[in-house]
Amino acid sequence: MAKKKRQVRNKARDVFTDYYRTNKEYAEENQRRQEQEGIPKGLKNLTYREKTYIVVIVLGLIGILVRYVILPNM
C-alpha cells in the first residue's frame, strides 16, 4: 500500500494573501464611500501611510540630488 503524500500548507502565504485581500476590499469600500459622498480626489484624502510614503520618496530624491548633483566630488 502506497503512502499518501502529505499536502504541505504554506501558512505564511495564506496570511499574506488574506492580508492583501482584506486591505484591497477595505480600500475599494473606502473609495466607493468617498465617491458616494462626493469627496474630490486629491492630496487631502490620502491616508497617513500614503503621506508617509510621499515624504520618504521626496526626501530620497533630495538626497540623491545633493549626492550626485550638488556634491559630486565627495
Q: pLDDT tens for the chain, 74 residues: list them.
A: 677 777 777 888 888 999 999 999 998 898 888 888 887 777 677 778 888 999 999 999 999 999 998 888 76
Q: Are 54 and 46 in contact (CB under 8 A)?
A: yes
C-alpha to C-alpha distance for 73 and 10, rounded to whole angstroms = 50
Each domain of the chain, given as residue ranges in start order, spans: 9-39, 42-74
* Alpha-carbon span 16 to 23, nearest angstrom: 11
3-state secondary structure 9-22: CCHHHHHHHHHHHH
